[in-house]
Amino acid sequence: MSAVERKTACVTGGNGYIASALIKMLLQKGCAVNTTVRNPENMEKNSHFKDLHALGPLAVFRADLEEEGSFDEAVAGCDYAFLVAAPVNLKSENPQKELVEAGVRGTLNVMRSCVRAGTVRRVVLTSSAAAVSDRPLQGDGHVLDESSWSDVDYLSSPANKKGDQEMISTVKLMEKATGGLMLVHVDDLCRAEKPPPPPAAAAERYICCGLSATMLQLARFLAAKYPEYNVDVAALGDLSEKPRIRLSSEKLAGEGFEFKYRTLDEMYDDAFLEYGRALGILPY
């Protein structure tokens, strides 16, 4: 592919798990990629770029979500921008300020850089199931789609905060908050985000969820996979056998997308092990 024909994409947060996989896919598809990190000199976090450089044109830029205009250089001349970077702090004492507000400011900073560039044809923002599923739903059988949004008033209510404080140290918190485990293989997610050919609809929202499961299903899967660890499934108590909530990807499927990975067994190595290694939770 000639330099004239080659499209250029900017992927923010290039040393993150999803961004790294997305960069790899874009390079393999023939795109040139600009990516951003807060400190390009930190080889401990950026060593994977060496292997990615071998796949195609990759440029690494310094940028910070909190700095207005710091994405201008990385976005300049790009056809597409993939907003993957987000503040991450699992021990934050003020998540509203340090995660939510900082994330919004960072997204707006990158968007303004895209406007100033004048070349960006499409912006793809990677969000989270938390934007859809956190709501006070009773019972089960709920199917949520692109029209569904989490309930901000519910999340910020004193009763909900008290409940979370009581459960913060248990594995039940995730299922309590979301009604289940919403999973997608990273390769499927990257395939769903690839640049669409025009004239695809703009300003659209898509849910990309390959499997809605439960903590109980995951525990049983791990117990069967690792019998030597004696996984205590009974410790999960009365958690549901099936997810109370299912995220629907029918809209995405309606545009011809097909998931390659639909089971825990298919997703496990990449969706759990590799992500755990990327976070430093798993040493091997």
- Judged on CB neighbours under 10 Å (0-12, 13-18, 19+), 22 is buried
Residue 60's contacts (CB-CB under 8 Å, 6 or more residues apart) are 14, 34, 35, 36, 37, 40, 46, 49
For residue 124, pLDDT over 80 is answered with yes
Both structure tokens of 237 = 């108590």
Q: φ, ψ for residue 34 (rounded to 5)? A: -105, 135
| Rounded average pLDDT over 215-238 | 89
Helix (H) or strand (E) holding 222: helix 215-225
- Binned at pLDDT 50, 70 and 90, residue 169 comes out as very low
For 66-91, the pLDDT digits (tens) are: 999 999 999 999 999 999 999 887 78
User: What integer pLDDT is reported at residue 166 of this predicted model?
Assistant: 45
Cα separation, 28 vs 47, whole angstroms:
19
| Rounded average pLDDT over 211-220 | 90
What is the pTM for the complete model shown?
Answer: 0.86
Cα separation, 198 vs 148, whole angstroms:
27
- CB count, 10 Å around CB of 72? 17
Q: Are strands 211-213 and 181-183 parallel, antiparallel or unpaired?
A: antiparallel
For 130-141, the pLDDT digits (tens) are: 889 877 777 778
Inter-residue contact 173 to 149 (CB < 8 Å): no
Helix (H) or strand (E) holding 64: none
- How far, in Å, are 116, 129, 268 from residue 172 at the CA level? 45, 17, 20
CA atoms within 13 A on the CB side of 91: 0
- Enumerate domains of the chain plus CATH numbers: 1-126 (3.40.50.720), 129-278 (3.40.50.720)
Residue 266's contacts (CB-CB under 8 Å, 6 or more residues apart) are 185, 260
Residue bearing the bigger pLDDT, 176 or 213: 213
Cα separation, 85 vs 82, whole angstroms:
9
- Name the range with the highest mean pLDDT among 134-148, 154-168, 268-282: 134-148
Q: Are strands 142-144 and 58-62 parallel, antiparallel or unpaired?
A: unpaired
